[in-house]
Structure 1
């Protein structure tokens, strides 16, 4: 149970530790006092802000505040008129806590580089954002701002009638951000320049509001501590009950609309456009030939085999292409003067078959080679024609050849390994 005397004792301990490590620099800035708590069950939510109203403001004079506003004139590249407009607006409502006004156009021009965004994230203590541009800020600022809780902009409505109350509420109070990824959470509730009674009041008010607004309620909070940046944590609350008794509220899943259509830039592919703007290219896993799935490549198959395995036409084309390459190689050999085995050539000439014995001995070697090449090419043409009409060639025979080649390669590799070992020994 949360008791006030425990909070007072913890505050005294933290202030004593802060004084022991007090290192005053050039500027005596207030040091934060944080409330840290752990939850039993992590809710399935992302970036949920829990506003915490404090009885005493945590704002101080040297605290720097930056605000992101919308552009008044989107066509004009200059944004000085926009800055002047909001300065007059804040002066009219007597708001003096804003130190920097940054329009969206300035973020896209002056702060477009990551290095400039990092400098902007380190320059100020608190960031506010107009409600009309809060949807644009995550895409413009990116993870440089949204990866850390302290740099996430706080939403304010600059069109409100009582503008001073809205801005003061955002500046003077604090908030707790639940990321949905870890069990530990941290929220700033005071600083060391405040009085002890003010610190105790802020801590007590923050604890009560968090116990009511955290998903699962008070039963989902395991412990609470008070700490500073340079001090150890001092406990003020502890709950030893099991996490199985915690009941989290149901979270509604937002179903995103999807639209699927064909795409011309990818063969056999489709494109899916989601409602959140995400575009996904879907590749068709089925082969266009007959709508069947592409066969899996077996071990030892040569490259490109998956294109000819599924059809007889692919086998014929592959065989014809191989024979054409052989013919070309033989023609090149003949042109270079290489020997061709006479046994591999059979000349079929019906008109001159009886005069083969009377061939003159004075014929040159080049003429004989050309006749043999022509005869062999004619024989291969006949063989190709027979293959076109032959339907007995099956995929199984082709697979058998591939497996033989693969086994031969494996045996050669084993022999090479053995020979290498023998050489080493």
Structure 2
């Protein structure tokens, strides 16, 4: 029985997305893209990225995480601009370090890296906010040597997180470096933020055929359900869109069958935050409302409570004021008493001399 329940739980986590609906939505996206190209022709190429928007019922309470989603076709086009951030080599300045790694990439047959920079270059030349913002806009993807990956958080800043372009770690010293970089470029990365219910992931581009885009959508959703908590039942809505097109829904539901870790049913708001249906979660019982009586009685009780609070605060202030006055009088008496003692002592001395 336990194994059967485990199998059923795994089956319920799997994607139940309809391929026909995805195909219709993808065709609509491509038509929208064609209409936009007819209206405004771009000088920088006609390729547009395609995104999958995911809305969850329950927002996981955790730190920001990034998951790799396996897709059969590359999510970036041929003209993708990629920047590689490398380790600082000893006894080499920034230019020599960049030349050393460009030579290494050429020897290992890597041809899809647009720019190479060292960690020192990132720290010194891109310290101002404006410089970092321009750097983020200039490249589609950032790769980083895994040996310096833990040091990047202090060098990148919020602009990399905002544009979802935080560097991806690669093993630069790997023998099959070309394949390592190729897979890193063509992989979809889903970033799960623990404060909002909606997230987006790049799952293709308009240079792919419609069938290839459909395959990418199906594969990315299947991979996504294995990564997120509670799997497929936790997905509320799915949309696909380009940067300038409207979002087209491919899945939406109004029912949520998820349960908490304790087994209690949960009611989830539109914002995506789960609220327990127990009394501890802030919901008021109907019996308490009936005992309180009509709204007029509630208003009267509220006014009585406020008046009682005011009386208590007034008494407290008065007691504090009386205490301060008593303290002042005591200090004055203490100040005067040493003077009187000195006068008496001086008079006694004079009388003894006489």
What TM-score, normalized by structure 1, do the two folds share?
0.58
Counterpart in the other structure of 2:272: none
What TM-score, normalized by structure 2, do the two folds share?
0.69
Q: Does 1:198 align with 2:212?
A: yes
Task: Name whichever structure is richer in helix by fraction.
Answer: 2
1:369-408 map, 5 Å:
382-383=339-340, 385=342
Counterpart in the other structure of 2:191: 177
Counterpart in the other structure of 2:309: none
Counterpart in the other structure of 1:63: 80
Counterpart in the other structure of 1:229: 243
Provide the rounded CA distance (Å) in 1 between the counterparts of 2:226 and 2:103: 39
1:304-342 per-residue CA deviation (whole Å, 9 max, x = no partner) reads: x9xxx69x9xx489837xxxxxxxxxxxxxxxxxxxxxx
Question: Which runs of 5 or more structure 1 residues have no equivalent in the other structure?
Answer: 249-296, 321-379, 388-425
When the two chains are superposed, the root-mean-square deviation of aligned CA atoms in Å is: 3.0
Is the contact made by 1:216 and 1:246 (CA closer than 8 Å) also made in structure 2?
no
Provide the rounded CA distance (Å) in 2 between the counterparts of 1:220 and 1:173: 23
Taking CA–CA contacts closer than 8 Å with sequence separation of 6 or more, which of the two structures ends up with the larger relative contact order?
2
Structure 1 residues 38 and 72, CA gap change in structure 2 (3 angstroms): same
Larger Rg: 1
1:146-185 map, 5 Å:
146-149=161-164, 151-185=165-199
Provide the rounded CA distance (Å) in 2 between the counterparts of 1:206 and 1:49: 14
Runs of 4 or more consecutive aligned structure 1 residues displaced over 4 Å after TM superposition: 297-302, 384-387
Q: Secondary structure at the match of 1:245?
A: coil
Is the contact made by 1:29 and 1:62 (CA closer than 8 Å) also made in structure 2?
no
Aligned with residue 85 of structure 1, among 81, 92, 100? 100
Counterpart in the other structure of 1:289: none
1:343-382 per-residue CA deviation (whole Å, 9 max, x = no partner) reads: xxxxxxxxxxxxxxxxxxxxxxxxxxxxxxxxxxxxx974
Provide the rounded CA distance (Å) in 1 between the counterparts of 2:21 and 2:70: 21
Provide the rounded CA distance (Å) in 2 between the counterparts of 1:246 and 1:21: 45
Question: Which runs of 5 or more structure 2 residues have no equivalent in the other structure?
Answer: 1-15, 263-318, 345-354
Counterpart in the other structure of 1:392: none
Is the contact made by 2:22 and 2:250 (CA closer than 8 Å) also made in structure 1?
yes
Count residues with an aligned counterpart: 270
1:147-194 per-residue CA deviation (whole Å, 9 max, x = no partner) reads: 331x21112122323222211111011110011110011111111121
Provide the rounded CA distance (Å) in 2 between the counterparts of 1:156 and 1:209: 21
